[in-house]
């Protein structure tokens, strides 16, 4: 696991020190690779590849990068867990090896099989390969998007890096706010691929190559897409349904066990993030039954509604893991919040980044690698919103005259509706966030038969009306524009939506940045592509049944631990932001969302921001997530703009 960065300046005229700039870019990533550093330069071509190393496999100097073989040079971040199998295949073909690293295997596999080599790799990876013979720079990102890879191209300067912060060290980087990306952030709480917060700067999409040649021509090539397996599952649904539950459960258990064990490949100690939920318990259980002694780590909260630590402790005690827990207070959260812009580089609104950082910091005191259990919800229908939205769609489809009601509501602005509500409030239920709920109701009724739009709406914080109120007119993009598959299978579509957007651009970003900020490698055992291909094809009837999510996974888990240890409502990895900011951290909102600051920036309508803040503080009803997102953006802007 490492961090990479580099550039190819097509207009390089020795107008700056190539080596000095490359080293400055590299050193911004030291936190993610404190064990070693490397540099490859071609000054005549204006080219630089850099590397910071976190030594996990082959701790010797033989694993140093950038690594060269024949006409190829590689700078690589990640782990290819099956590298020994590929190595044996290459040895049979006459290749020899000087190291025990997966880096050398990737490099020689690419030399032998070219782009097709990637289909042999099982793991998480992002790499850049410079081909000195063809004068092409090749970028590649893993299938799921576990490891990050950013790129920038403007005025003849092409750059790539594991984190955006490296780009700021290049004197030709022009950082301009991408307002389209800002709208995406306000809507979803994160910025979906391929966009980033800066213009001319992009995330390489999961499952893609990017190739730039000596003429500056860029070509992107997709080598894998989960969409293919969702489609296949719908087409072959009847075949799946004919198979016995016992057969499928056994097949899934074997697949999970093999993948989980593969994630233990390491020359350093490996731990596990344990929440006490279905997914992390399943990873812990299946590894423990294989005779593996785990170190497990949990973050807890004193606020009972958010605390999962007590459940994790029971699982740890039952399995006999070496368990460590840490309870987070507002004080600890307060100390993390100012670090978020430095860790995440662009606005990132998932408040669970705070405990993720803290549990990573905790694990780092004892191990250098930690397993996580992300991806289980997206694969096995784990989010409550899946069946809630599905039920809403079913009910709305059966109610007549809703089109007429939607048209009436469309004629009544949220402000007029709120004034009417205040008049009749004594006779009506007490609704908080009336304005938000009114707008969502209107939109839901208008699109009640459109699965894609309804689910998209359910994931948004700021809607189109809200963006306009903030002064971001004509900028209301949707993640739906990035999704091609249109399915009448409601649950399958929602899982597909999250797998293409929320998982790679929120969940995996959160874990990667938090772990690497403390030089801890985070691994995702549920996200082996062999598991993903199988589960994406699996009909939802085996994922959600009789009101229970993760049906087959539960059947496996209950073979090894008592049901009562994990049978509880899903909590998620939430943070009591609302409770904290109403008291301990209130001053930060008042500081960063000050009207004079907002007005001076000229990005948002300061009157609207002040209204949201005022309504929140006076308990007049506002979605506190909106305020959190505005605050996070202002915090980021102060650091990077």
**Could you read off the pLDDT of 26-35 as tens digits, one per residue?**
999 999 999 9
Evaluate if residue 536 carries a pLDDT over 90: yes
Instruction: Tell me the CA distances in angstroms from 476 to 6, 59, 184, 286, 591, one per residue in order.
Output: 33, 48, 8, 45, 28
Count of domains for the chain: 3
Q: Give residue 430's pLDDT band: very low, low, confident or very high (50, 70, 90).
A: low
Whether 424 maps to a domain, the answer reads no
d(CA 92, CA 614): 70
Residues 6 or more apart whose Cβ sits within 8 Å of residue 198: 152, 164, 167, 175, 176, 177, 178, 181, 346
Evaluate if residue 424 carries a pLDDT over 60: no
Is-cis flag, bond preceding 199, omega within 30? no
Whether 481 maps to a domain, the answer reads no
What CATH number is associated with residue 84?
3.60.20.10
191 is in which domain, residue-wise?
A: 2-223
Instruction: Tell me the CA distances in angstroms from 235 to 7, 200, 232, 337, 498, one per residue in order.
Output: 44, 39, 5, 47, 21
What average pLDDT does range 582-609 have in this prediction?
Answer: 90
Evaluate if residue 235 carries a pLDDT over 60: yes
Which pLDDT value is given to residue 308?
85
Same domain, 374 and 303: yes
Which pLDDT value is given to residue 585?
76
Helices and strands, counts by H and E, the chain = 29, 17
Same domain, 137 and 68: yes
Which pLDDT value is given to residue 479?
80
Same domain, 286 and 207: no
Do residues 634 and 182 make contact, with C-beta atoms less than 8 angstroms apart?
Answer: no
Whether 448 maps to a domain, the answer reads no
Reference 147, options 166, 125, 127; nearest CA is 125
d(CA 479, CA 513): 23
Whether 45 maps to a domain, the answer reads yes
Dihedral (CA of 87, 91, 93, 96) sign: positive
Which pLDDT value is given to residue 428?
57
**Catalytically annotated residue among 2, 192, 328, 381:** 2
Q: Among the three residues 179, 202, 223, which one is the final residue of a domain in this structure? A: 223
Same domain, 140 and 245: no
Of the two residues 267 and 561, the one the predictor is more confident about is 561
Which pLDDT value is given to residue 495?
95
Specify whether 140 is catalytic. Answer: no
Same domain, 74 and 181: yes
Reference 45, options 154, 205, 157; nearest CA is 157
Same domain, 219 and 281: no
What CATH number is associated with residue 512?
3.40.50.620
Which pLDDT value is given to residue 476?
63
Which pLDDT value is given to residue 546?
86
Q: Phi/psi at 632 (nearest 5 deg)?
A: -60, -40
d(CA 181, CA 190): 9
Q: Among the three residues 223, 258, 293, which one is the final residue of a domain in this structure? A: 223
Out of 239-253, 267-281, 323-337, 438-452, the most confident range is 239-253
* Six token digits for residue 503: 């998982």
Same domain, 31 and 63: yes
Same domain, 159 and 70: yes
Phi-psi category of residue 216: left, alpha or beta, with phi > 0 → left and psi -120 to 50 → alpha: left
Same domain, 546 and 585: no
Q: Among the three residues 565, 588, 607, which one is the final residue of a domain in this structure? A: 565
- Percent of the chain whose pLDDT exceeds 90: 72
Whether 160 maps to a domain, the answer reads yes
Which pLDDT value is given to residue 148?
98
Whether 588 maps to a domain, the answer reads yes
Spell out where 107-207 has E strands.
123-131, 136-141, 150-154, 157-161, 201-203
Q: Give residue 371's pLDDT band: very low, low, confident or very high (50, 70, 90).
A: very high
Whether 152 maps to a domain, the answer reads yes
Evaluate if residue 315 carries a pLDDT over 90: yes
Evaluate if residue 158 carries a pLDDT over 90: yes
Same domain, 48 and 20: yes
Whether 419 maps to a domain, the answer reads no
Same domain, 558 and 633: no
What average pLDDT does range 97-104 have in this prediction?
Answer: 96
Rounded (5°) CA angle 539-544-548 = 165
Same domain, 132 and 238: no
Spell out where 225-302 has E strands.
270-273, 295-301
* Six token digits for residue 55: 């030594």
Count CB atoms within 10 A of the CB of residue 416. 11
Which of 192-201, 333-342, 487-496 is predicted least confidently? 487-496
């Amino acid at each position: 696991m490492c961090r990479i960065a580099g550039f190819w300046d097509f207009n390089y005229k020795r107008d700056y020190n190539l080596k000095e700039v490359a080293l400055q870019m590299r050193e911004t990533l030291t936190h993610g690779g404190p064990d070693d550093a490397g540099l490859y330069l071609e000054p005549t071509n204006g080219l630089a590849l850099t590397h910071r190393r976190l030594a996990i496999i082959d701790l010797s100097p033989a694993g140093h990068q950038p690594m060269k073989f024949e006409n190829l040079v590689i700078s690589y971040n990640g782990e290819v867990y099956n590298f020994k199998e590929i190595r044996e295949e290459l040895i049979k073909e006459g290749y020899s090896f000087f190291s025990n690293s997966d880096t050398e295997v990737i490099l020689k596999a690419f030399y032998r099989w070219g782009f097709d080599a990637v289909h042999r790799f099982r793991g998480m990876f992002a790499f850049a390969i410079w081909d000195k013979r063809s004068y092409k720079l090749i970028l590649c990102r893993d299938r799921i998007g576990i490891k990050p890879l950013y790129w920038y191209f403007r005025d003849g300067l092409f750059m790539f890096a594991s984190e955006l912060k490296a780009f700021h060290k290049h004197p030709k980087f022009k950082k301009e706010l991408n307002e389209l990306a800002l709208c995406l952030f306000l809507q979803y709480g994160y910025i979906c691929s391929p966009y980033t917060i800066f213009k001319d700067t992009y995330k390489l999409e999961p499952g893609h190559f990017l190739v730039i040649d000596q003429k500056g021509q860029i070509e992107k090539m997709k080598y894998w897409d989960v969409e293919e397996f969702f489609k296949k599952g719908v087409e072959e649904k009847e075949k799946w349904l004919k198979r016995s539950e016992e057969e499928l459960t056994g097949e899934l258990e074997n697949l999970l066990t093999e993948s989980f064990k593969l994630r233990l490949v390491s020359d350093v100690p490996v731990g596990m993030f344990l929440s006490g939920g279905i997914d992390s318990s399943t990873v812990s259980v299946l590894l423990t039954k294989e005779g593996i002694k785990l170190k497990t780590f949990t973050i807890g909260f004193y606020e009972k509604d958010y605390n999962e630590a007590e459940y994790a402790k029971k699982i740890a005690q039952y399995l006999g893991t070496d368990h460590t827990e840490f309870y987070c207070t507002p004080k600890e959260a307060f100390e993390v919040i100012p670090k978020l812009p430095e860790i995440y580089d662009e606005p990132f609104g998932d408040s669970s980044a705070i405990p993720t950082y803290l549990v990573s910091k905790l694990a780092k005191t004892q191990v250098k690698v930690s397993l996580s259990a992300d991806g289980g919800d997206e694969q096995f229908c784990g989010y409550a919103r899946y069946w809630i939205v599905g039920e809403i769609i079913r009910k709305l489809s059966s109610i007549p005259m809703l089109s007429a009601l939607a048209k009436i509501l469309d004629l009544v602005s949220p402000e007029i509706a709120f004034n009417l509500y205040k008049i009749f409030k004594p006779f009506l239920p007490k609704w908080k966030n009336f304005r938000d709920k009114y707008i969502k109701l209107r939109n839901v009724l208008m699109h009640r038969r459109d699965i894609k739009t309804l689910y998209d709406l359910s994931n948004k914080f700021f809607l189109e009306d809200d963006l306009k109120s903030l002064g971001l007119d004509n900028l209301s993009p949707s993640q739906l524009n990035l999704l091609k598959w249109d399915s009448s299978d409601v649950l399958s579509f929602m899982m597909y939506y999250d797998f293409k957007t929320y998982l790679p651009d929120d969940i995996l970003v959160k874990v990667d940045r938090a772990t690497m900020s403390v030089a801890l490698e985070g691994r995702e055992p549920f996200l082996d592509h062999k598991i993903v291909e199988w589960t994406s094809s699996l009909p939802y009837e085996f994922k959600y049944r009789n009101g229970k999510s993760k049906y087959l996974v539960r059947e496996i888990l209950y073979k090894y631990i008592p049901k009562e240890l994990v049978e509880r409502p899903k909590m998620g990895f939430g943070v009591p932001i609302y409770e904290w900011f109403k008291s301990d951290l209130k001053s930060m909102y008042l500081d960063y969302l000050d009207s004079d600051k907002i007005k001076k920036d000229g990005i948002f309508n300061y009157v609207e921001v002040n209204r949201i803040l005022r309504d929140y503080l006076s308990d007049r009803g506002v979605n506190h997530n909106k305020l959190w997102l505005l605050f996070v953006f202002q915090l980021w802007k102060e650091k990077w703009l």
